[in-house]
Structure 1
């Protein structure tokens, strides 16, 4: 009887030890992902609209988030990268894949138009297409996916984009060009006022740094504070680090 109790206690201790190792590994993996190049502090939302579906729905088969919006709403690159795919498919419709230096690949699907080609480098905030309903889409929206290392047909490397974009429940309005720090959303505009003869893609962009003010940015960019506010539809002088601003 004593031997049985000893074996039982040893089994419990071993199970507890293995559980702690597993949890520790998962924690380290998550921490490593968040720390990777500080990407969680710098991604921006890819389009204006309303969250219509989130990651993991449809019995776990929905491997991205859906942002419903108006036809031809600008779709932005969430971070610097290189276009690795730009084509039309029966499922994704017009779709763009961007590979980022942080070892992520982002996917922008159901576009009405694609404005970038394979091999083209893009900067954060560049317009890579226009929102549409091509492919297997029931309404006008952007289907956005994030994959670690590479996109696979089985989507084995897919991860929830909200880990890097910030949490947004169904029905919540989001704004393209917004940067996030964890779940704190920083307001910026994706609808800059364009002058006649000026293309949206040619506009200069500036990411706010710690200690910046509208006045200091205006001095650096040789532009007036009022002009910056007008270009970005800002109603106050409040800006925050990682906020994306149009400055020309």
Structure 2
């Protein structure tokens, strides 16, 4: 009799554990599904070429990087209210915007901030300009998205690709365009824009000139370089 009761108890406990695991998985799935469904109207925050994606650097990179030109306009991806606008030693000039449905976006390494805490923002409003302030190796926008709130450990981070569209390194994006923008490699042009190239480790201007229609001297001129020295992740214009 005792063995029978023990078996019943073990079976009940196992059933309860399986149910809890199932419910937890469904809640996580529903939470992410909600995040992907409610933001199909987001637009890209700037012009440029994606130079890094979510989850790189051993999982510590919790956003995407869009490389571009100094002082390129940065716009809000959706309506919201500015939660923070300040200078951080790591993010540099950074803006946090609180959006409907408990979502937060982060715009970091800005050269200039054009909005203040508490300010209401409409989708497409200009909020700053691209820069390289804080811990940054080149001119780019570091963009993050979070559910509910931003935390230091970034436990609520969401891959922006789920909300904005395709975000592979080398894809060119256009400010104000809706998510799922047409994929373009860095050596092709966004309609109406000059072709750009992301410098890779080991690249030289001589090698890049052979891939483009410009001489080394022309590359230096159109990119306003002081010498022929270039560095990885630098974005170069490769046509006139």
- TM-score (ref. length: structure 1): 0.63
In 2: Cα distance, 1:64 partner to 1:81 partner: 19
The structure-2 alpha-carbon separation of the partners of 1:167 and 1:137, relative to structure 1 and needing over 3 Å to count, comes to same
The structure-2 alpha-carbon separation of the partners of 1:18 and 1:186, relative to structure 1 and needing over 3 Å to count, comes to farther
Structure 2 counterparts to residues 123-138 of structure 1, below 5 A: 123-138=122-137
Are 1:172 and 2:168 matched, yes or no? Answer: no
The structure-2 alpha-carbon separation of the partners of 1:58 and 1:186, relative to structure 1 and needing over 3 Å to count, comes to closer
Moved over 2 A (4+): 17-40, 184-187
Which residue of 2 is the match for residue 160 of structure 1? Answer: 159
Give the deviation of 1:174 after TM superposition.
1.0
Give the deviation of 1:21 after TM superposition.
6.3
In 2: Cα distance, 1:23 partner to 1:146 partner: 27
Structure (1/2) with the larger helix percentage: 1
Which residue of 2 is the match for residue 144 of structure 1? Answer: 143
Give the deviation of 1:22 after TM superposition.
3.6
Query: Gaps (5+ residues) in structure 1?
Result: 192-248
> For the aligned residues, what is the CA RMSD?
2.9
Aligned residues: 179
Which residue of 2 is the match for residue 241 of structure 1? Answer: none
Which residue of 2 is the match for residue 54 of structure 1? Answer: 53
Task: State which of 158, 165, 181 in structure 2 corresponds to 1:185.
Answer: 181
In 2: Cα distance, 1:23 partner to 1:87 partner: 42
Give the deviation of 1:29 after TM superposition.
3.0
1:88-124 CA deviation, whole Å, 9 max, x = no partner?
1111111000001110111000001101001100011
